[in-house]
Amino acid sequence: MSQFIDRRTNGRNKSTVSRQRFLNRFKKQIKESITRALSQRSITDIHVGEKITVSKKDINEPFFHHAPGGSISRVFPGNKEYSVGDTIARPPSSQQQGPGGEASDQGEGIDEFTFEINKDEFLDFFFEDLELPDLVKTELKALPQFKNVKSGLSLYGSPSNINITRSFRKALGRRIAFGTDKRKKIKIAEDRLSKLTKNSGANSPRRLRLKKYIAFMKEKIIAIPFIDTFDILYNRTTKQINPSTQAIMFCVMDVSGSMDEAKKDMAKRFFILLYLFLTRTYQKIKIIFIRHHTSAKEVDEQEFFYSRETGGTVVSSALELIYDIIIDRYATNDWNIYVAQASDGDNWNTDSPYCQSLLKEKIMPLVQYYAYIEIMPRHHQSLWNSYLTVKEEHNNFAMQTISKPSDIFTVLHALFKRKAS
Amino acid sequence: MKMKGTLLPQSSEWTFESLLLYEKAIGDIAKEFHLDTYSNQIEVISSEQMIDLYASTGLPINYPHWSFGKQFVNTEKLYLKGYTNLSYEMVINSNPCISYLLEENSMTMQAIVIAHACYGHNSFFKNNYLFKTWTNAESIIDYMVFAKNYIHKCEQKYGANAVEELLDACHALKNYGVDRYKRPQKISLHEEEARQTERAAYRQSQVNDLWRTIPNNFQKKQNTSNKKHRFPKEPEENLLYFLEKNAPLLEPWQREIIRISRKIAQYFYPQKLTKVMNEGWATFWHYTIINELYNRNMVSDAFMMDFIKNHTNLVYQLPYDNPNYFGINPYTFGYNLFSDINRMCTAPTDEDRLFFPELTQQKPLEALDFAMRNFKDESFILQYLSPKLMRDLKLFAILDDEKAPNIKVTAIHNSAGYESLRQLLSQQYNLAFVEPNIQIYDVNVKDDRSIILRHVQTDHRPLDEESTEKVLHYFHSLWGFDVVLESVSPEGTVLKIFRCPAIAPPSNA
């Protein structure tokens, strides 16, 4: 007795839990890989998976086994030239496998175990340090918004989408088509019947047969279904990406000598987070990188993060540049403007009041949101105090001192809250 | 002469209708050859599901563990990048016998796989003495359901981490969780659950008794006079069993999980011992049955060409000096051994009559059936490896002695070498020789509760130090007190000592 079962429709993710456990166990290594990846990735390709490499030493499951050595006899197939008493030079690899050295041809080192995590898992690990609320995480990972648009008719669909007019029209056509030959036959039969009436008696067998035939044909016409399943047409809808407006994101960073790699890494996470937020809301995002020390400059991402400068700091130079760029290129009505500024708080003392007035009078009226983070400052300087006064007047201005990645989210908190409501 | 039969569907795409027809035809022929099988449950699965099966170590149900996740990630990566193919089928030693067929297989492949797994492996599982003794096909699925639920409950109660650590330790010792001589009992899921509660209480009381520490003057005196008394009295080969019953500090749930691990290890034990026979038997029968289909005109020449191509690939033996050589192919070796029995019964040569006087008198089906039922790889090779097959495979033996400068050829496929080759090859499939022989030797019951394991060396082969230390660490986590592993020569001289926790070596004053 044998029985066949089609299991293909069953779930295919039986190993999900085990896989999750595996990732958890090697969290440390994965996080290291992700930190490394973050420093190499551009802000805009945050939405992809990552290749993770773990040392085989960490991942091997130990068991009792022999080490090479001792005096072992082995049997091999495929003897070509040996006879008893021949000696063979020991192959260079000290493995006990005997003749036939082995090499890895799979593109990865023998001591490494490589696997890939997908985009969602990558973001999970990225968010973990940032300690985002769950709601925010799911929103950030969400795909772009779609809306349904009518696009013709389809043979399949749900009952609620039946197009009644078109379905009936199609049914009518079918009924006419299917009935035509029958009606023709009835007509011929009736003609014959009327001829017969003249010649023969009222109840001749031929007459009866014709009448029966006509009745049968009429029944057949009635039997044509009024509406059939393949008459039914459904309104078809297709998904269209919801057109959304465009955004400009200014990344402003102090690149004076005091900003070291660790601070820049923190700043990068801050920019990434804002970028992720914007991708959720806007279809098209332009990022403008502005770095500054005593003077500001618009640069590309590579230069933004990796080239180093020394010297003093004049923040107002960057603010002036932002203002100029906005006025020059981006009319406020078409663009949503966001500014993210990262600094360690250093500024030329006399420059701070100027920054304050620049922000209050020129920039803040033009932007949606302005987030400022101060990374690991020794103590707050004049810039912080000037910004505080800006914050009092504008509720779309946020500022925060950052000492660890989990602090970053608070500066964007208001953004997410506003959207969630 | 060709017999008459109805032609089976010839399309290379399979459908459930054609699968049913083929299965029926194959089953009928199998019956004519007296293959005694469990009823078949044949399931068609996708490649992703096959990767899942790989990851749960070939059981349809398993508890979650990171190592299975690792296996999954690895297989998936290799498969998606095209480095590896998935196997065409997987078969579970259960009643009914569950076989998984991959949906990508062509009709020819499905037919081979049905003959191979659903009739070949199936009849082997049902009738080989090792499987009859050590596994219980009726209850394995039930038992895995029990195991999965139990481990899940433990995770909720004691935390996933505690359970994972315990399972890590059990997995490291699973090769040493096997009874080789005691007969396991057959019980169902409900009995297992009922017994489990009972067992937990009883077991704890036993352990407590062994470690009784209430002072008892009379006992103390006896002990000092009787110092030589060892515990356990005889060395214990089943390390997990010993830990389950005797480790002093384990909680009842931990003992139960150790028990689950060793039960699963025990279930797989016969498969490790009969790799060559099992694959050989299945391959021999798929070859015989498909040829029979052809003889009866039930399949076309095109089908047969496809079959021969696949079969030939399966039983190809790479020579030792090929860079891809990975050992003796169990399919080739086993298939040849069984075909050779068949040959010696039907058309024996003078040489066969000399080497196998009794076998050449027997009817082929009876001789094959007897061989399948009563052997494991090691004894099977010793019994049936014929000079002809040694010549066909061009076998030769080498001695790799680390003290000698070169490797020496000790036997080849000639009349002087047959006996020795057979002996050595059989040895190569002897698990006691392949895996280090490690047993529990003594426990210091009265003193610091330290435990001594002994590794008796074979062929002067040392233990791998790094992994041994790691495994001892796991052993220590279960035992709870000092663990010592002595590597001794067959004569009993201690050659090396491993300790966990490691202590500074005693100074030689």
- To the nearest whole Å, the CA of A115 is away from the closest chain B CA by 7
- Amino acid present at B76: E
Among all residues of chain A, which has the CA nearest to that of B170? A63
**What b-and-e string marks burial along B27-58, b requiring 16 or more CB atoms within 10 Å of the CB?**
bebbeebebebbebbbbbbbbbbbbbbbbbee
Q: Which CATH architecture has domain A246-420?
A: 3-Layer(aba) Sandwich (3.40)
Tell me, yes or no, whether B210 lies in a domain. no
Tell me, yes or no, whether B146 lies in a domain. no
Restricting to A residues 75-94, those with a Cβ less than 8 Å away from any Cβ of B are 75-80, 82-90
- To the nearest whole Å, the CA of A36 is away from the closest chain B CA by 22
Sort A209 into a burial class: Cβ within 10 Å, 0-12 / 13-18 / 19+.
exposed
How many CB atoms lie under 10 A from the CB of residue A323? 16
Subunit contact B462:A59, Cβ cutoff 8 A: no
Statement to judge: residues B397 and B487 lie in one domain: no
- Its ipTM equals 0.86
Is any Cβ of chain A less than 8 angstroms from the Cβ of B100?
yes
Region of residue B459 (left: phi > 0; alpha: psi -120 to 50; beta: else): left
- Residue-range definition of the domain harbouring residue B57: 16-128
Statement to judge: residues B88 and B101 lie in one domain: yes
Q: 3-class SS at A241?
A: strand
**What b-and-e string marks burial along B479-504, b requiring 16 or more CB atoms within 10 Å of the CB?**
beebbbbbbbeeeeeeeeebbbeeee
Tell me, yes or no, whether B155 lies in a domain. no
pLDDT above 80: residue B169: yes
Tell me, yes or no, whether B214 lies in a domain. no
For residue range B270-289, list pLDDT tens digits in order. 999 999 999 999 999 999 99
Cis peptide before B232 (omega within 30 of 0): yes
Among all residues of chain A, which has the CA nearest to that of B461? A70
Tell me, yes or no, whether B10 lies in a domain. no
Q: 3-class SS at A360?
A: helix
Give me the mean pLDDT over the A245-251 stretch: 82
Question: In angstroms, rounded to a whole number, what is the distance separating the alpha carbons of residues B192 and B190?
Answer: 5
Statement to judge: residues B334 and B349 lie in one domain: yes
Q: Which chain B positions have a beta carbon within 8 Å of A19's beta carbon?
A: 69, 72-73
Subunit contact A82:B409, Cβ cutoff 8 A: yes
Is any Cβ of chain A less than 8 angstroms from the Cβ of B17?
no
Number of domains in chain B: 3
Instruction: Give the pLDDT confidence score for residue A418 in this predicted structure.
Output: 54
Residue that wins the pLDDT comparison between B180 and B125: B125
Statement to judge: residues B22 and B42 lie in one domain: yes
Statement to judge: residues B343 and B370 lie in one domain: yes
Restricting to B residues 311-370, those with a Cβ less than 8 Å away from any Cβ of A are 317-323, 325, 328
Is any Cβ of chain B less than 8 angstroms from the Cβ of A9?
no
- To the nearest whole Å, the CA of A405 is away from the closest chain B CA by 27
Range from A107-111, A134-138, B42-46, B161-165 carrying the lowest mean pLDDT? A107-111
Q: Among residues B432, B448, B465, which one ends one of the domains?
A: B432
- To the nearest whole Å, the CA of A120 is away from the closest chain B CA by 16
Restricting to A residues 372-411, those with a Cβ less than 8 Å away from any Cβ of B are none
pLDDT above 70: residue A272: yes
Q: Among residues B432, B448, B482, which one ends one of the domains?
A: B432
Is the distance from CB of B381 to CB of A65 less than 8 angstroms? no
Restricting to A residues 110-129, those with a Cβ less than 8 Å away from any Cβ of B are 113-116
In chain A, how long is the greatest CA-to-CA distance? 126
Which of A12, A16, A18, A102 would best serve as a mutation to test chain B binding (most B beta carbons within 10 A)? A18
Q: Which chain B positions have a beta carbon within 8 Å of A113's beta carbon?
A: 70, 74
pLDDT above 70: residue B407: yes
Instruction: Give the pLDDT confidence score for residue A95 in this predicted structure.
Output: 44
Subunit contact B74:A115, Cβ cutoff 8 A: yes
Restricting to A residues 27-66, those with a Cβ less than 8 Å away from any Cβ of B are 59-66
In which band, very low, low, confident or very high, does the pLDDT at B377 lie, cut at 50, 70 and 90? very high
Across the interface, which of A15, A88, A102 has its CB nearest the CB of B52? A15
Subunit contact A61:B168, Cβ cutoff 8 A: yes
pLDDT above 70: residue A381: yes
Give me the mean pLDDT over the B67-87 stretch: 85
Residue given tokens 């937990």 in the structure block:
B200
Sort B422 into a burial class: Cβ within 10 Å, 0-12 / 13-18 / 19+.
buried
In which band, very low, low, confident or very high, does the pLDDT at B432 lie, cut at 50, 70 and 90? confident
In chain B, how long is the greatest CA-to-CA distance? 89
Tell me, yes or no, whether B476 lies in a domain. yes
Statement to judge: residues B31 and B59 lie in one domain: yes
pLDDT above 70: residue B12: yes
Statement to judge: residues B324 and B409 lie in one domain: yes
Statement to judge: residues B341 and B404 lie in one domain: yes
Is any Cβ of chain B less than 8 angstroms from the Cβ of A95?
no
Statement to judge: residues B405 and B483 lie in one domain: no
Backbone φ, ψ for residue B98 (5° rounding):
-90, 125
Subunit contact A78:B69, Cβ cutoff 8 A: no
Sort B279 into a burial class: Cβ within 10 Å, 0-12 / 13-18 / 19+.
buried
Dihedral sign (CA A293, A297, A302, A303): negative
Most confident of A80-84, A117-121, B76-80: A80-84
- List CB contacts of B375: < 8 A, sequence separation 6 or more: B277, B383
Tell me, yes or no, whether B33 lies in a domain. yes
Statement to judge: residues B110 and B67 lie in one domain: yes
Instruction: Give the pLDDT confidence score for residue A139 in this predicted structure.
Output: 61
Statement to judge: residues B423 and B368 lie in one domain: yes
Statement to judge: residues B463 and B376 lie in one domain: no
How many CB atoms lie under 10 A from the CB of residue B164? 18
Average model confidence (pLDDT) for chain B? 89
Instruction: Give the pLDDT confidence score for residue A97 in this predicted structure.
Output: 42
Subunit contact B320:A83, Cβ cutoff 8 A: no
Subunit contact A67:B393, Cβ cutoff 8 A: no
Residue that wins the pLDDT comparison between B7 and A166: A166
For residue range B55-70, list pLDDT tens digits in order. 888 888 999 999 999 9
Q: Among residues B70, B94, B128, which one ends one of the domains?
A: B128
Among all residues of chain B, which has the CA nearest to that of A83? B412
- Amino acid present at B325: Y
Give me the mean pLDDT over the B413-427 stretch: 94
Tell me, yes or no, whether B60 lies in a domain. yes
Percent pLDDT > 70 in chain B is: 91
- List CB contacts of A395: < 8 A, sequence separation 6 or more: A414
**DSSP H or E segment with residue A338:** strand A335-343
For residue range B274-328, list pLDDT tens digits in order. 999 999 999 999 999 999 999 999 999 999 999 999 999 999 999 998 988 989 9
How far apart, in Å, are the Cα atoms of A42 and each of A269, A288, B427?
11, 13, 59
Instruction: Give the pLDDT confidence score for residue A366 in this predicted structure.
Output: 84
Question: In angstroms, rounded to a whole number, what is the distance separating the alpha carbons of residues A271 and A252?
Answer: 9
